[in-house]
Homo-oligomer: A and B are copies of this chain.
Amino acid sequence: MAQQQAKFVLDESRIPRAWYNIVADLPVKPPPGLHPGTGQPLGPDDLAPLFPMALIMQEVSTDREIEIPDPVRDAYRLYRPSPLHRALRLEKALDTPAHIYYKNEGVSPAGSHKPNTAIAQAFFNQQEGVRRLATETGAGQWGSALAFAGALFGLEVKVYMVRASYDQKPYRRFLMEAYGASVVSSPSDTTKYGRQVLAEHPDTPGSLGIAISEAVEDAVTRDDTKYSLGSVLNHVMLHQTVIGLEALEQMEMAGEYPDVVIGCTGGGSNFAGTAFPFVGRNLRGQTKTRFVAVEPLAAPSLTRGVYEYDYGDTARMAPIVKMYTLGHDFIPEPIHAGGLRYHGMSPLVSLLKHEGLIEALAVHQRPVFEAGVLFARTEGILPAPESAHAIRVAIDEALEAKAEGRPRVMLFNLSGHGHFDLSAYDRFLRGQLEDYEYPADRVSEALAALPKV
């Protein structure tokens, strides 16, 4: 019997030439974003202080394809196309009839899928004369991606890094600084909002919501600066579709098509990037693939939240969008998958869930780390805790296939490696990791504070 192929690689000429915009294929029109001050639908002018016009136009575009400019494709060549693997060793360890494929986005310089949008955002900002970008970061995946992209396009990058991470996880900060970015602990004394928080709560560990507010304030108060966000928004989902577009071609090389596509969801971008090109085929009636978004039980917006208009940040400076949310005041427990600790969810991913076009599951962190360790010991790659959420559900599906004696073809996105998460793995291996019960009380309280629109 011929040996089964384990890896599907594409030449750099196969990097997609256009991003896929799922809005063109949606059965319903996405609800508009609202101005945080007036509650009125947002126009391009409202967003102009934050983003360059090219990104604003992408945010509201209904075109199915949006061309990827040559300089962006050129930068993508540093790490794209990313490989598609078949997890033959994991399949064998599980003794499953399922075929498990995974796209490896951990090969990017910053170690995750985040550069796919960071590069695009840096380019479009540079094109419009922006000299400096302000952003926030939690554990640092997004901050290091934007720092990398800034280095490529000659932009200054200022990162507001949540204080708890700034103090406890210095390595991501060092990486951002190696790329040339300037990083401050948030809340900082360099913004009005930061100073206000520090005056009221000098010992605060900070939060993503606070850091977003500081970065937004930085951008709107400086002429040379725009704001950059690593997830949630439509244009971010759009840029990430290079993952799924490449995977479509690679699955064709493998001679198979996924029955189910799996991705972890925090703000939604790696799931969207992987799934949307496949969802589009469902929407156009070509396929009947299932889609599973996997979130942590500590921040289960899709499975326990409500589909309502809410703020993207704590200080209520960011646009109000319709999404699955746990309430903008809700602060998730300190699980190690920092990239999934967000109260809301991408409006596009939320809409798909609301329309019944995708499924969602929430999982505890110990079984997630268990899956991560099994993956490392079979496939070699130590996954980021975020990505291990997708692996957990892929393994569960594979075991179900085994129990039912029915093969299935699965594809999940390995959104990043876990080289900066090793202390969490150490805690897991020593039995020191906690599972957090779903905090229903705190969510109820936070949901009571939703904006009235």
Contact = CB atoms under 8 A, between A and B. Distances in A.
B380 A78 contact: yes
Contact of A11 (B9, B85, B89): B9
Interface string A155-184: 000000000000000110011011110000
Contacts of A378: 151
Contacts of A10: 9
A48 interface: no
A174 B422 contact: yes
Closest 10 CB pairs of A and B: A109-B380, A174-B422, A419-B419, A174-B426, A151-B377, A171-B422, A6-B77, A78-B380, A178-B425, A9-B9
A259 interface: no
B9 A5 contact: no
A376 interface: yes
A382 interface: yes
A403 B13 CA distance: 34
Contacts of A426: 170, 174, 177
Nearest to A379: B78
A304 B11 CA distance: 44
A74 B152 contact: no
A148 interface: yes
Nearest to A430: B177
A262 to B, nearest CB: 21
Contacts of A179: 376-377
A289 to B, nearest CB: 26
Tell me how many chains of this kind the complex includes.
Answer: 2
A374 B376 CA distance: 32
A373 interface: yes
B7 A423 contact: no
A77 B88 CA distance: 11
Interface in A65-89: 70, 74, 77-79, 85, 89
Interface string A98-141: 00000000011111000100000000000000000000000000
Interface string A1-27: 001011101111000000000000000
A177 to B, nearest CB: 6
Contact of A423 (B70, B110, B170): B170
A381 interface: yes
A449 interface: no
Given A79-B380, A152-B380, 5 more contacts: A109-B382, A151-B380, A170-B422, A177-B429, A178-B382
Contacts of A7: 12, 77-78
A77 B74 CA distance: 27
A438 interface: no
B376 A178 contact: yes
Given A78-B379, A178-B382, A178-B429, A152 B89 contact: yes
Interface in A341-387: 373, 376-382
A436 interface: no
A393 B227 CA distance: 39
A379 B179 CA distance: 11
Interface string A381-425: 110000000000000000000000000000000000001101101
Contacts of A9: 9-12
A11 B170 CA distance: 38
A149 B152 CA distance: 36
A227 to B, nearest CB: 23
A111 to B, nearest CB: 7
Contacts of A12: 5-7, 9
Contacts of A85: 78
Nearest to A429: B177
Interface in A18-75: 70, 74
Interface in A278-323: none
A260 to B, nearest CB: 23
Contact of A373 (B107, B178, B373, B377): B178
A428 B389 CA distance: 36
Contacts of A151: 376-378, 380
Contact of A420 (B74, B89, B419, B429): B419
A269 B401 CA distance: 44
B74 A3 contact: yes
